[in-house]
Structure 1
Amino acid sequence: MTVSSAKSPTHRVGGIVGFDHRSLVIDGHRRFLISGSIHYPRSTPEMWPGLIRLAKEGGLDVIDTYVFWNGHEPRPGEYNFAGRYDVVRFLETVQTEGLLVNLRIGPYVCAEWNFGGFPEWLTDIPGIELRTDNEPFKKEMEKWTTHLVRYLKDHKLFYSQGGPIIMSQIENEYGHVSASYGEAGKKYSSWAANMAENLRTSVPWIMCQQKDAPAHIINTCNSFYCDEFTPNSPNKPKMWTENYPGWLHYWGQTLQSRPVQDLAFAVARFFQFGGSYMNYYMYHGGTNFDRTAARMVTTSYDYTAPIDEYGQARQPMWEHLKNLHSAIKMCAPALAAVSGEPLVWRSQNNVQIHVFQTQHSQVREFQNSQAPTGVCAAFLANVGLTDALVSFKGRQYQLPAWSVSILPDCKTVAFNTMHVPDVSSAKEIVTVKPAAAHRNWNFFADAVGPWNLHTVVTSKSAYEQFRLTKDKTDYLWYRVRFIAPQNELPHWLVVEKAEPDLMHVFLNGKHLGHAISNSSGFFQPLTLRQGHNTIDILSVTSGRPSSGPYLEQQHGGIKGSVTLHGPKSKVTDLADMEWVHQVGLKGETLHLEAVQKSQSRAWSAHTIYPPKYHPLVWYKTVQDAPRGEAPVMLDLGSMGKGAAWVNGHHIGRYWSEIRNPSGGCDKTCSARGKWHMNKCALNCGLPSQRFYHVPRSWLKRRGNIIVLFEEIGGDPDGVSFAIQIHRSVHAQDSSKSQD
């Protein structure tokens, strides 16, 4: 086990965290907290200080992160707390900046993370069922959670020890799947809550989207709007653990953005209705390095968050939210002082005014010009689609449509959600070509079909993919041989219920094509030759699913029947023939991505004319790093689909061939009215992702080794580093420009 390498910050004296019906109570004081999610493995340790510092400057009090079990325990009993998984270093960096932590232990996290954060080896345990009243699973879950909590206690990271962790989460959105498990699900969620409580962290535990959370666990809301959320007990505070500034991106789908005016509106409404803790999911999304992305999720996890994938503030979102946070904190004395519900004062159907003040027994106090005694804060909301003029306490207030004005003293407007500051920036991506006009490439043509007779698996039917690969690779070869009685007969190969994300078909060693599979299966035309024929199918996954019930039962690869459909509707069933399986690619077993293998004899001699548009080819070249400090990415727009490494670091899967739908982005993105999917879609008709983040800490000044595995065919000469440059621009008031 690797111990954290970070310098330990100076720990303060331990304190006490509790809660009442209004908020968390920290050291005897009610706290109204703004939080943001930053997942430590989706960036690098070198990036963490800058990200956390920028979050603090943006007005955050708390950093929220999941803990990723499969990254920390890749093999049973072998723990990894190094590099991007050095959670202690990350939490200590948060504390160094004076921020607090909500640690979402799970250990199921979803997070669009491979297998929802579960280690693949769990599926090898006899009789195991995940996330239900199953003894083998509960044993492993308790063992890991106990180990993690003990590890964090050893580093004195809980608030009672002087650390930053003020609360923790057990399980994650179990309310979405509990009905699938019936009574066993209820028993499991109750067990999970009690197990967590018995770990004695001395900080509150939460469960998100869990209406039946027991009395000692705070249930919280995850949604785009949580103003109407009510905890399952009057003794619990109103908390919002996931507020989405945008949405994740899937291969082949448009990018979903959200106007910052609506995001700020939702936050203000939440505190207006008695909320006490709000977390942006994500505040910095980061990157799905390695093979950590869940099925069909892009390598970028940018989330159109306030801090972009590369660690830079997204303007004007970041600045607008910073101003919002400042206004809410100005209201904190009044929010904390009111023990009951705020006074609700309405002028018309679409205008709602909530007042927090220490003396509000008489409504007439708010209908004249006399200011009430004591602290007072007001939220004036217009939930309609037209502007409104409101009279409040003898003054007139103009409320833009779909906006909230915050008055920390019940007089002066400190912030309106529709008034975005006149600050913005434009992102420009500049490709940095190699110094030489032509550069040398090495290449390696991978084998077609099973390539090592000593490691193949033979059976009378096609195996499910994850059963063989154990999720160590995206690739599984299937081979079947048979005899065709006539010459050059046209056929259709039909694979029913196929569940890879892509399938390649080779007939007698020739690549016939590839296609994205779907629930109805996979179809490939082919022409057989008389006599012996060999069909090779390369099944490709892009991550295990991360959500839904019965995760251990979800499949990859060939799941149903495999048939040949010939002339006169003749059908040949291949299911009963002998199937040969090969896990992975030959280049993977040669570790061609590793820096120490850069001189391997497997690579071809240097050439300036590498093969182009061929499937299953590995490429290697060298390029100097771009000068300066601007964020670096790899431009893979000329390639098809595969994986990329820089200096041995796996920067993730790429799929430049697949494009977003061409329609749906021509709508005006109005900041007024409730947001929904596709309301503000971006990047229609463009590649789902062309540029891939390469952290600066992974680069050398000269001689960076770039390795690609190209799966379907591309032009490596178009591959190069690029940099992202931010340029300040003058922006008009967005309340006018976006409608």
Structure 2
Amino acid sequence: MSEIVDVVAAVIIIWKEVSVYKTESGLCSAFLANVGTQSDATINFNGHSYHLPAWSVSILPDCKNVVLNTAKINSVTTISRFMHQTLKNDVTSSEAFQSGWSWFNEPVGISNNNAFMKVGLVEQINTTADKSDYLWYSLSTEIQGDEPFLQDGSQTVLHVESLGHALHAFVNGKLAGSGKGNNGNAKVSIEVPVTLTPGKNTIDLLSLTVGLQNYGAFFDKQGAGITGPVKLEGLKNGSTVDISSAKWTYQTGLKGEELGLPSGTSSGWVSQSTLPKNQPLIWYKTHFDAPAGNNPVAIDFTGMGKGEAWVNGQSIGRYWPSYMAPNSGCTNSCNYRGSYGSNKCLKNCGKPSQKLYHVPRSWLQSSGNTLVLFEEMGGDPTQISFATRQTESLCSHVSESHPVPIDMWSSDQKTGRKSGPTLSLECPFPKQVISSIKFASFGTPHGTCGSFSHGKCSSTKALSIVQKACIGSKSCSIGISIDTFGDPCVGQSIVPKHQGAHFNNQRTCLKGGSIDWSRVQYTQAKE
């Protein structure tokens, strides 16, 4: 039978909060919080003094010992980069895709046997029933020969309103314009000038989703697709015709999906010396060899517009490198303190929202792999390439005031001894060992992970101690204390605590200490 937990106290002082919980048997837990965003704080609780960095919470499961502070996480930062890798002898990674391409032109408009007709516009999600991202809306309309725009060469404007997430408008088989929603509002509204001809004109609207909302209030009622109005503006006497309530023809999915093109094994592919590029609604297929080694693999879709990709019949997701991030809003540094918002700590402004897409190694064979693309907007598939993610170094920053790492709690309970702050390092992949330690500092290092430098106080023994403990091993751990590294401030005056954003809870010289592993290199262990 569970015990009743009582909130014994919830004390709030200026920028400080203390919440204590006790059970009937006397078990006690406490949460100490510093809700200030500028200054560190000290809280006296249960006869002990606890230091809390700004905007942090300390957890005391026994109302005595701190096991976690949210600003002092024992973690290791991996510094890696993507290396574009040669796939074939004497061929660069991008050139490896340039030979052996074949393609299939996706028909514009209705081409499948599952088409149906209905008066008015339909909602997309309920219509497609998650069978496809795509839904065609097709309509034929008659244009009389006396329309003014036919006489003076002017154009009519096609106006389309959609619940999202994106759409492409084709008139008489040619792409007239496209539109997309954004992160805050999925709705799409386009107004594009179109050229109509006397007699029958076909309007084909391809509506598409890029994933379905699965949280939030009434998310199941959000809807998608073209719900109108759809209008032709600038007709005779400046009139506007609302064609939303006309009899539309609908088709769920694409012809290529019906033919099974994503598998790469179906017929219908075309191979000629000239590869169509920058053309909307086209499928591409090629074969490739897997990049050498065991590092994670990604495809760089630079040069493509928007679509989906399959490797050996498995979808690696929708790609959209032409969707650019806003040019403003990014910062060179990131301060975790303060309330979180979606615009906080932004990076890569003005760049593609994503261009690298992971391909699991388990999906790849050493050779003879198949890549299939469906490109909606137009792109150049010969520009895509493979890249492998290579871990170059690790970085970690731990001070004497950090709690004991979580994975050491059980060993402390078994031995009855209390461990201190510990910095641990481990190679990320099997058969790797630490080959070198380029920088280590115990004292008051400056900077951020990957770019630390020695401060006024720095132990002269730190680098050699870390090198001796770690080089040649897959992992190593070192206790952070003056007993291990010696006094880093010999001959220096006491340095006060620094509150700046570039310093992660820097302590006084006699109490402060941190190790920067910002330049740890790896080598492959011998079999």
Q: Would you say same fold, with TM above 0.5?
A: yes
Residue of structure 2 aligned with 1:696, choices 350, 361, 378: 361
Alignment partner of 1:443 is 2:109: no
Whole-angstrom CA distance in 2 between matches of 1:695 and 1:622? 17
Residue in structure 1 matched with residue 176 of structure 2 by the alignment? 512
Match of 2:329 in 1: 664
Query: Could you give the per-residue CA deviations for residues 27-53 of structure 1, whole angstroms, max 9, x where no partner exists?
Result: xxxxxxxxxxxxxxxxxxxxxxxxxxx
Give me the whole-angstrom Cα distance separating, in 2, the residues matched to 1:392 and 1:20: 25
Deviations 1:222-247 (A, max 9, x none): xxxxxxxxxxxxxxxxxxxxxxxxxx
The residue that corresponds to 1:721 in the other structure is 386
Match of 1:480 among 139, 143, 146: 139
In the TM superposition, what whole-angstrom CA distance separates every residue of 1:527-553 from its partner, at most 9, and x where no partner exists? 222333222221222234434566665
Q: Which amino acid aligns with 2:106?
A: D
- 1:737 paired to 2:495: no
Map 1:287-366; keep pairs closer than 5 Å: 340-342=6-8, 348-354=13-19
Q: Deviations over 1:395-426 (max 9, x none)?
A: 55443222344556766655543234473221
Preserved CA contact (<8 Å) 2:289 2:367: yes
**Secondary structure, in 3 states, of the residue corresponding to 1:593?**
helix
Shift of 1:640: 0.8
Cα shift at 1:375: 7.5
Which structure shows the higher helix fraction?
1
Alpha-carbon deviation of 1:554? 4.5
Give the number of equivalent residue pairs: 385
Cα gap change, 1:422/1:463 in structure 2, threshold over 3 Å: closer, same or farther? closer
1:603 maps to which residue?
269
CA distance in 2, matches of 1:359, 1:456: 68
For 1:429, the equivalent position in structure 2 comes to: 82
CA contact (8 A) 2:4 2:24 kept: no
1:462 aligned to 2:128?
Answer: no
Q: Distance in 2 between matches of 1:409 and 1:572?
A: 73
| RMSD, aligned α-carbons | 3.2
8 Å CA contact retained: 1:670, 1:738:
no
Check whether the contact 1:480–1:535 (CA below 8 A) recurs between aligned residues. yes
CA separation in 2, counterparts of 1:546 and 1:509?
A: 35
Q: What displacement does 1:667 show?
A: 7.2
- Would you say the 8 A contact 2:121–2:245 is kept in 1? no
Aligned AA (1:464):
E
Equivalent residue for 1:402?
Answer: 55
Would the aligned equivalents of 1:669 and 1:738 in 2 still touch at CA under 8 Å? no
Gaps of 5+ in 2: 399-447, 449-498, 505-527
Q: For structure 1, which runs of at least 5 residues remain unmatched after alignment?
A: 1-17, 23-339, 361-373
Over 3 Å counting, the alpha-carbon distance change for 1:730 and 1:444 in structure 2 is same
Q: Distance between the aligned counterparts of 1:476 and 1:725, measured in 2?
A: 40
> Which has more strand, going by share of residues?
2
Equivalence map 1:524-673=2 (5 Å): 524-547=192-215, 554-566=222-234, 568-575=237-244, 577-597=246-266, 600=267, 602-605=268-271, 607=273, 609-666=274-331, 668-673=333-338
Q: What is the CA distance between 1:706 and its match in structure 2?
A: 0.5
Partner of 1:503: 167
Write the distance in 1 (CA, Å) between the matches of 2:51 and 2:219: 52
Equivalent position amino acid for 2:195 in 1: T
Question: Which of 694, 702, 707 is the aligned partner of 2:372?
Answer: 707
Which whole-Å deviations, capped at 9, do the CAs of 1:430-469 have from their partners, x for residues lacking one? Answer: 22343234422011111112124x5432334333334542
State whether structure 2 residue 137 is matched by structure 1 residue 471: no
| SS of alignment partner, residue 103 of structure 2 | strand
Give yes or no for contact 2:264–2:371 (8 Å, CA) kept in 1.
no
Judge which range, 469-478 or 669-678, deviates more: 669-678
1:489–1:566 Cα contact (<8 Å) kept: no
8 Å CA contact retained: 1:502, 1:515? yes
Distance 1:345 1:500, change over 3 A: closer
Larger radius of gyration: 2
Distance in 2 (CA, whole Å) between partners of 1:577 and 1:344 is 64
